[in-house]
Amino acid sequence: MSKQNLDAEVLFSQDVTEKENVKQILNSNEDQVAHSYWNKCLQIIKDNVNTQVFKTWFEPITALKYTDNKLTVKVPSQFFCEWIEEHFYPLLQKTIFQVLGENAKLQYQVVVDENSDNLHSRMIKVPAFKYPPASNQIQLPFADMPSLPESFPTYLNPRYTFDNFVKGESNQLASSAALAVCKNPGTTRYNPLVLYSETGLGKTHLVQALGNAIVRRYKNLRVLYTTSERFTMEFVNSIQNNKQNEFTNFYRSIDVLIVEDIQFFSGKEKTQDNFFHTFNALHQAGKQLVLTSDKPPKELVDVDERLLSRFHWGLIADIQPPDYEMRMAILKKKSEDEGIELPPEIVDYIARHVKNNVRELEGTLVRLIAKYTFDNREMNLDLAKEVVFGITNFEPKQLTVDDIKEMVSKYFKVPEELIVSKTRKHEVALARQMAMYLTKQFTQLSLKTIGSHFGNRDHSTVLHSCQMIDNYLVTDRSVKQSYENLVQKIKHE
């Protein structure tokens, strides 16, 4: 992976000097301490997540060192550490505090290039952090916040940029509008800019990219990224602490206000009332508002009509799930950014099977890379299938075609004699095709040999059967479910 691919918040390892290098070797004791601390953490984590999650996300992490109350761990990619931060932050934080005390810090080191001779040139360090902090009142000693431009806390995450956002038909309007806004905040027709979509389709990415671009372009503008929940919490706090004036003044001093997930304003009348007035004041002063929601504004319930009607002053744009071509483009871009070139058939396989949203696509890719990097697996279709269907640790060689026949026969309640017979009855044919498919996937046998185990069929019949199942996996939920159940059984065999 090349260094220019990495985001700005990442500290490069050049700052690890030779001296430190030597010191590090002398301090192998510290490494042992780190191992034992991390093992304790793993014990706790193991009790709090399911086995699958533990294997995918925590087992690949290894401890590197422990100094100054800071535990450094190695993770396979930047993606990986962002993913665990996003999904397991509270658990990690609690665990680290429990094992190392409340002032402890966690730092990730990302493996950049396993093949490099120089240990340090293949590592980058990423402090554990989270944007925005859970509450403005709790400052997390855990989080090493990277320094932000000016002293104004924007709560933007610099990882989101327009450069690493893939534009396509499904987000055309939303992304063009966001770009237009970042060039001329407050003065375009897109004020407010309201983006809506189902989860995982890029709302957060786009509005953060917009905020980051404005901060970079207009150094003197105050950009604030927040969520409706955070706004609500701060509002309630301000009432409790008699700080309503400060609250109001603060929000009115902002030039670009980004508020995510406005659906959570639903039913919170007082907060909405305050937000409505903030909205008006900012809009009148020519300040930019950017909002996101998980549904079209007209479907928001218990949200002030006055506020909803204001949205039509600007632009309401939706983001649709990505189509096949865009899923391919996203996978290519993200794997390139990770410094890994995926064979086209793998990109195609994932793009055909992981369809709901970009977050899932990303998750699949992270798991694929983790397995490739840490388990030394070959990058091939079988690995992709395993990752897509969430299977781990099976031993392909130990399984025989007879095991599979038996399992499939029991599962579909079709006698084994029928599976290898000439019968074309649908249930029997399906069981047969499934058994061939699984044999192909979980054994090393050739199509020809597989055919010989299924009533002396020839290799093209086996191939056809496998293609049938491949199609079913995309088009037929119940077949997909059967496949997944069988794979689970194989895994536990």
Instruction: Check residue 367 for interaction with ligand ADP (CB under 6 A).
Output: no
Which H or E element spans position 387? Answer: helix 381-388
| Piece in contact with ligand ADP (CB under 6 A), picked from 95-103, 308-316, 343-351, 354-362 | 354-362
Which residue number, 58 or 264, has a Cβ lying nearer to Mg ion? 264
Give the interface size with Mg ion as a residue count (CB under 5 A). 2
- The smaller minimum CB distance to ligand ADP, of residues 238 and 320, is found at 320
Which of 177, 330, 346, 479 is close enough to bind ligand ADP by CB under 6 A?
330
β partners of residue 259: 226, 291
- Token digits for 268? 């919170």
With CB under 5 A as the contact rule, the residue among 13, 197, 204, 271 that binds Mg ion is 204
CB closer to ligand ADP, 357 vs 433: 357
Candidates 192, 202, 211, 314: give the one binding ligand ADP (CB under 6 A): 202
Residue 248 makes CB contacts below 8 A (sequence gap 6+) with 274, 278
What is the H or E stretch that residue 12 is in?
A: strand 11-12
User: Which residues have CB under 8 Å from 343's CB, separation 6+?
Assistant: 379, 380
Residue whose beta carbon is closest to ligand ADP: 202
Return the amino acid letter for 262.
I
* CA–CA gap between residue 386 and residue 441 (Å, rounded): 10
Tokens 């299977």 -> residue: 391
- The closest of 71, 1, 68, 15 to 42, measured between CA atoms, is 71
Q: Which of 34, 61, 106, 201 binds ligand ADP (CB under 6 A)?
A: 201
Confirm or reject binding of residue 197 to ligand ADP (CB under 6 A): yes
**Smallest gap from residue 292 Cβ to Mg ion (A):** 7
From candidates 93, 204, 439, 441, binder to ligand ADP by CB under 6 A: 204
DSSP annotation of 119 reads: G
107 in Cβ contact with 95 (< 8 Å): no
Q: Give residues with Cβ within 8 angstroms of 388, minimum separation 6.
A: 349, 350, 353, 354, 364
Binding partner of 278, given ligand ADP, Mg ion, none, CB within 5-8 angstroms per partner class? none
Amino acid occupying residue 333: K
Residue 295 interacting partner from ligand ADP, Mg ion, none (CB closer than 5 to 8 Å by kind): none
196 binding ligand ADP? (CB under 6 A):
no
Question: In the complex with ligand ADP, which residue's Cβ is closer, 227 or 465?
Answer: 227
Binding site for Mg ion (CB under 5 A): 203-204
Binding site for ligand ADP (CB under 6 A): 165-166, 171, 197, 199-205, 330, 358-359, 362
